[in-house]
Chains A and B, each alone.
Chain A
Amino acid sequence: MKKWPETWKEYNTGGIIFDVGNARSFKTGPWRSLRPVWDNSKCIKCGVCYLFCPEGCVQEGPDGFFAADLDYCKGCGICAHECWPSAISMIEEGHES
């Protein structure tokens, strides 16, 4: 699928989008420069990171611990800021945790 029309002549009348829900195919995580990493030894499973994530991309795993969906995480750091047991640290992309 083409991401957008090549020329102005291919531009849809009024910019109308007919394949509704096509935002699913656009991952918005690549903007990120920092990513959150959880230290599960400090995590108390309170879910504050899940509650505060403005992107709604922090999810609870079957073991009760949390992780961010990196396809959509923007690396804003709100989860790390709000995590009062300090279980989350922000790591620069390209660096190992």
Chain B
Amino acid sequence: MTKPVGMEVAVAAAEAVALCNIDVAACYPITPNTHIAEHLADIIADGRIDAEYITVESEHSALSAVMGASGTGARTFTATSSQGLMYMHEILPITPAMRLPVVMGLGNRAVSGPINIWNDHSDIMLQRDSGWMSIFADNGQEAVDMFIQAFKIAEHPDVLMPINVNMDGFQLTHVVEPIVFPTQAQVNKFLPPYKPFASLHPDHPVSMGTLGLPEIYTEAVKARDVVLVNAKKVILEVWKEWEKMFGRKYEPVASYKTAGAEILLLTMGSMGETAEMAVDALRKKGVKVGLLKLKLWRPFPYDEIRKAVRGAKTLVVTDRAVSYGGPGGPVCSEIRAALYDQPNRPEIVNYIIGLGGRDVRVEDFMKMVEGAPKAKKSGDDYQIYGVRE
């Protein structure tokens, strides 16, 4: 299948997961990931793939079920959003601790309250430190590609860590886009079967998820952190292999018209495509602006960020979540930390925008770029863009 097909992105995500020959899926449908869960259930019920779909009563159970399945050596998938991810919270850090390569689809959505089903990044940001790898898709094609890449990254013998693929709720999950699917033969070639480090089997019993006394807990944490940091190498390898095979390039920090840019915009997720249009419009007006799109969130790409901002005078970072009572947006606080010790670092302006599904238009990006000097002068660490005063 080399011709693009028009498909809703959430449905396409389920199709991509099906191409990966999964063995077990357990998803509790929650807006806006519902269509992933529904369509994957359809695919499995129709017998299109040889897999088990476990209908669970909650997200807490969904992740527990796929972790148990993953422990037996099965290739597993789950999907969720917002409150569902919050409900998984107790289990989330245990998946990387047990080194289980579970793949999760996240239709990013604001967290309550007030109750809101629309898109921002506050769900994943609240779970940021749980030890999962985290990547962000710009559009439907990237989402499909990233799901297939995700299994390969997670199951690499040097990684064996869970990963979540982030898609902006509605703005990405519910739009129909032209998508090119790889063939089953191509996916089979790209993605070898999962070889677990150890698996639960009565013939050679092992214990998983055991107690760690103070004598070992620190060493367990260090071991996990090192694996996550080193996972970047594997991610880059997998992305390079993908580029060679399918011609579509993936980088931790993708750039758009950054040559000679004095001002850089930085986005994460589907806002990147809108920001590209703003960059085009501003470039026509003679503003030397470029765009950086952060696709790899965990492990955080320190080197790539430092390299990407070199030469810029101003860096405008957009965030779609608030770290309440803290440094503003989580993305910006990490960028600031990455650049703090760097010589000639750009001035950083942080805007928090697009919360709870509020539209972010081309004009908004233009206003943010043009208003950056004033925002910097105000001395505030961050601005909540477009809030009614």
Query: Chain A: residues with CB nearer than 8 A to chain B?
Result: 3-5, 7-11, 13-18, 20
How far is the CB of A40 from the nearest CB of chain B, in Å? 37
| Given A8-B219, A11-B220, A11-B223, residue A17 in contact with residue B206 (CB < 8 A) | yes
Taking CB atoms and an 8 Å cut-off, the chain B residues in 46-88 that contact chain A are none
The answer, among B98, B215, B222, B226, for a CB contact under 8 Å with A15, is B98
How far is the CB of A80 from the nearest CB of chain B, in Å? 29
A-B contact sample (14 more), CB < 8 A, given A11-B219, A16-B98, A16-B197? A4-B213, A5-B216, A5-B219, A8-B218, A8-B219, A11-B223, A13-B160, A13-B197, A14-B198, A15-B97, A16-B198, A16-B207, A17-B210, A20-B205
The answer, among B198, B207, B219, for a CB contact under 8 Å with A13, is B198
Q: Which residue of B lies closest to A20 (CB)?
A: B205
Q: Which residue of A lies closest to B95 (CB)?
A: A14
How far is the CB of A5 from the nearest CB of chain B, in Å? 6
A61 to B335, CA, bound (A): 69
How far is the CB of B305 from the nearest CB of chain A, in Å? 27
The answer, among A8, A13, A14, A16, for a CB contact under 8 Å with B222, is A8
Q: Which residue of B lies closest to A6 (CB)?
A: B219
The answer to whether B198 touches A15 (Cβ under 8 A) is: no
A31 to B88, CA, bound (A): 35
Q: Mark B17-54, 1 if CB is under 8 A from A, else 0.
A: 00000000000000000000000000000000000000
The answer to whether B216 touches A4 (Cβ under 8 A) is: yes
A8 to B221, CA, bound (A): 8
A13 to B193, CA, bound (A): 19
Task: Say whether B325 faces chain A, with CB atoms less than 8 Å apart.
Answer: no
Q: Mark B197-217, 1 if CB is under 8 A from A, else 0.
A: 110000001111110110110
A19 to B221, CA, bound (A): 22
